[in-house]
Structure 1
Amino acid sequence: MVKINCDGARFIKENRAGIGVVIRDSEGMVLGSLSKQIPQAYNPLEIEAMAVTIAIQFASELGFQHAILGADLFVLVKALVDDTQLLFVVGLVLDEIRYKANFFNELHYSHVKREGNNVTHKLARQAICVLDFTVWMEDVPPLLSYVVLVDIAGST
């Protein structure tokens, strides 16, 4: 079972958003990570929902079938766990998430507090520096290696 974490960030001045995703094994070692820039500064709920969609797609493309997905926006995680709808555009994104979840044999959702999502938060903030998206396999950007090590040390 892998742990997928995702987060979103808004860059109001640039009218852009960023998404960060990290996939880890049971020991906390990074299996893959990505930063993706979104060409519009959507509202926070929409960005977080897009982050979940991209995270599920990324994990599926890497061939993972059993996962726990953690996000820090409680209302979104609750809607996924309870299988309820949210309004307008986010409702459509939730439908897409539920569709993509079918590609997994087992997929659970969990709420992760902001402090437990540092790596993905920094990956989302880094998205302003990428043209579309950047993927790191079994790694994160060099400037985030320390954050991963601190995170692993804190969870032991």
Structure 2
Amino acid sequence: MKADRPKENLKWVPPPKGWFKANVDGTIFKETNKAGIGVVVRDSQGWVLAALTEKVDGVQDAEVIEALAIRRAIRFAIETSFNCVIIESDSLSMVKAIQDTAESTCHIGNIIDDVKLLSKALKSCEFHHTKREANHVAHTLARNAIHVDTEMA
């Protein structure tokens, strides 16, 4: 008899009471030399409290846009006064890089270091990885950035 494998959580899971969860994603539009960022913030009951879509000029590297998206999510949390935040991304490499306590030496180390510094402005901030299927809203917001006029340089 074959043992059942545990099913991976493919649905969005709410944060604990008193916390907010900011799901974040970045995407690249190769044909236009632009990229998009999407962030959605929800409470412990799953209510959407804030969201943003932003276009970024000149980014064509997946790790760069994922790192920029996470940094933007933290800034958004600060701007909107969400002080206990779980930043959730489907980029495992970025989450691991941010969780690493050593100073980053990779090509996006300055962005990662900036993320770590900005997160200290919040009362509590955690970084979690999630599967793409549980990050659908942020992904859709990032893809929608191709249709917005505002750009981050």
Structure 1 length normalisation: TM-score? 0.82
Comparing both structures, which one devotes a greater share of its residues to helix? 1
Listed as ranges, the matches of 1:136-147 within 5 Å are: none
Q: CA contact under 8 A between 1:79 and 1:86: conserved in structure 2?
A: no
Name the CA distance, whole Å, in 1 between partners of 2:143 and 2:22. 18
Listed as ranges, the matches of 1:82-93 within 5 Å are: 82-84=100-102, 85-88=104-107, 90-93=108-111
CA offsets 1:93-122 (integer angstroms, 9 cap, x no match): 011111110111110110011001000000
C-alpha displacement of 1:132: 1.1
Bigger Rg over Cα: 2
Name the CA distance, whole Å, in 2 between partners of 1:104 and 1:115. 28
Letter in 2 for 1:69: I
1:17 aligns with 2:35: yes
Q: CA RMSD in A?
A: 1.0
C-alpha displacement of 1:86: 4.4
Residue aligning to 1:125:
143
C-alpha displacement of 1:83: 2.3
CA offsets 1:7-56 (integer angstroms, 9 cap, x no match): 00100001100000000000111010000000113300000000000000
Residue aligning to 2:44:
26
Structure 2: runs of 5+ lacking an equivalent = 1-18
Residue aligning to 1:55:
73
Structure 2 length normalisation: TM-score? 0.83
